[in-house]
Amino acid sequence: MEKLIITAAISGAEVTKEHNPAVPYTIEECVREAGLAYKAGASIIHLHVRNDDGTPTQDKNRFKAVMDAIKAKYPEVIIQPSTGGAVGMTDDERLQPTELKPEMATLDCGTCNFGGDDVFTNTENTIKYFGKRMIELGIKPECEVFDKSMIDMALRLAKKGFIKSPMHFDFVMGVNGGISGDLRDFIFMRGSIPADATYTVAGVGRYEFTLAAAAIIDGGHVRVGLEDNVNISKGVLAKSNGELVEKVVRLAKEFGREIATPAEARVILGLK
């Protein structure tokens, strides 16, 4: 079985310090949280950036400042910027970090109701536009899928040449408006991707560690972090992203999975 790639989603665009004081806003806080996650065993840092007041931004200069600061201290780590941004941003606004030519970036593969009046919009043309841009810039897309229909969309667009194979998916499960985080649904999603594809599971909230265990056993990969879950256990706030990663490492050891280094993750994902 392949070694386990752990991704740390250190901040997201919606979670705040009111939810958990460890959520990073400033450049220094992002470096701290990325470092704690990396030292604990994460190979990939899934990155949203904020202004110092916590406002989400897709400004490429802010991304560059954060990415350069992380790389200065942890040059081996893979940084995966989000092109999801925050609800209401335009396509070109969301695509700004791709101009920095990262190794990977996220590619959201469908529209999702996030609750209330919040709709995370990704039209077919948006997905094509993002996919084409990533091919042009040599960026490996992580296909973010919130339900089965988004897998189907990604596969259709791959056949049309907008996403290269072998594909890499991130099953985001347990989000309001998306598929649940039940084991039944994980099996459904897992059985819907090509045999040569790789996948990561991001269980949101209470689903984080049960789905992590399922992915570890199945041979997949895991995403954890304060973006997805601010607690280390029910009612107990996580002290850092590193603490969340450490819990996944303990689970992996129990099930006999070794943890991939960033260099090993690059080989598994076809980044080099």
Domain count, the chain: 1
Mean pLDDT lowest among 85-99, 150-164, 180-194, 217-231? 85-99
80 inside domain: yes
Range(s) of the domain holding residue 227 = 6-269
Q: Please give the average per-residue pLDDT across 182-200, as a whole number.
A: 97
Q: Please give the average per-residue pLDDT across 88-113, as a whole number.
A: 95
- Cis ω for the linkage preceding 166 (within 30 of 0): yes
Q: Please give the average per-residue pLDDT across 73-80, as a whole number.
A: 98
1 inside domain: no
44 pLDDT higher than 90: yes
15 inside domain: yes
> Is residue 256 very low, low, confident or very high in pLDDT (cuts 50, 70, 90)?
very high
272 pLDDT higher than 80: no
Q: Please give the average per-residue pLDDT across 245-262, as a whole number.
A: 98
Q: What is the CATH number of the domain that holds 78?
A: 3.20.20.70
22 pLDDT higher than 80: yes
> Taking the CA atoms of the chain, what radius of gyration do you get in angstroms?
17
Q: Please give the average per-residue pLDDT across 23-30, as a whole number.
A: 98
Q: Is the overall model pTM greater than 0.85, yes or no?
A: yes
> Is residue 52 very low, low, confident or very high in pLDDT (cuts 50, 70, 90)?
very high
The per-residue pLDDT for 115 is 81
